[in-house]
Amino acid sequence: MSGHSKWSSIKHKKGAADAKRGKLFSKLSRAIIVAAKEGGGDPSGNLALQNAIEKAKSYSMPKDNIDRAIAKGSGADADASAFETVVYEGFGPSGVAVIVEALTDNRNRTASDVRHTFAKNDGNLGGSGAVAWLFERRGLVVVDAPGVDEDELMLAAAEGGAEDVELDGSSYQVTCAPEQLAAVREAVEAAGFSVDAAELTMVPKTTVEVADENEAKKILRLIDQLEDNDDVQDVFANFDIPERVLEAVAG
């Protein structure tokens, strides 16, 4: 899992750069608006909204932006009702399983764009259920490892309801049930640890090892192009690229 987890860290840094350009904030706002529209504006009674807010916080989205998005979704806003959640499943190079989650106001446009992106990157779009069984939804809190006492982190995470704490390179991956994400983040921060990311993810049950640099480049190119689509919120894949290869191609 090391190569896969490391890519998650790289994606978060890339996302932080996107946030500075405003693109990511637009996607995060959309997720909050739709969650508030569907389940109400109170995060304590709306798990989807709670998790959308946690993700927005991870990318340092200003509180005013978050509050405006909640207000917009809670009101009678036509834009919010126009969006729907769509999930696409497919295979990338080397048989890597890929899940694409989107929020779209035009299902046909998004499906066409996603299918085209798969096709031009040596992949193919599958039907519903094609790869979903290879993943499970989990909450993930990432803590930078330098200077962290692992035992203290494990204790704090457990108090918040975390299920596992694993050192992965330069960070700790704290996993939990989706409904515990906010509680785990709060417990970890209350204990004095700095949280680098807190969001829902799809954790692969099995991974496909990709040691060939050219194949790795193809996979990461596919993921990058999918993530660049304005309608796409998240992309998950079950590759495991060795760190030496990942660092070479990600650079």
Q: So what's the pLDDT on residue 13?
A: 63
| Sign, Cα dihedral of 90, 205, 139, 59 | negative
pLDDT-derived band of residue 83, with 50, 70 and 90 as boundaries? confident
Give domain 135-204's CATH number out of 2.40.10.10, 3.30.70.980, 1.10.15.40, 3.20.20.370: 3.30.70.980
Q: How many CB atoms lie within 10 A of CB 193?
A: 22
Q: Are 211 and 245 in contact (CB under 8 A)?
A: yes
Which pLDDT score, from 0 to 100, does residue 1 have? 39
- Between helix 47-58 and helix 181-190 the angle, nearest 10°, is 40
Least confidently predicted of 167-171, 183-187, 208-212, 222-226? 167-171
Topology agreement, domain 2-82 and domain 84-133+206-250: no
C-alpha to C-alpha distance for 73 and 48, rounded to whole angstroms: 13
In tens, the pLDDT along 95-153 reads 999 999 999 989 999 999 999 999 999 999 999 999 999 999 999 999 988 899 999 99
The topology under which CATH files domain 84-133+206-250 is: Alpha-Beta Plaits (3.30.70)
Residue 171 has pLDDT above 90, yes or no: no
**Whether the Cβ atoms of residue 4 and residue 207 lie closer than 8 Å to each other:** yes
What's the distance, CA 231 to chain centroid? 14
Please check the confidence at residue 191 and state whether its pLDDT lies above 50. yes
Residue 81 has pLDDT above 90, yes or no: no
Tell me the domain boundaries of the chain.
2-82, 84-133+206-250, 135-204
CB 197 within 8 Å of CB 183: no
CATH superfamily of 2-82: Integrase, N-terminal zinc-binding domain (1.10.10.200)
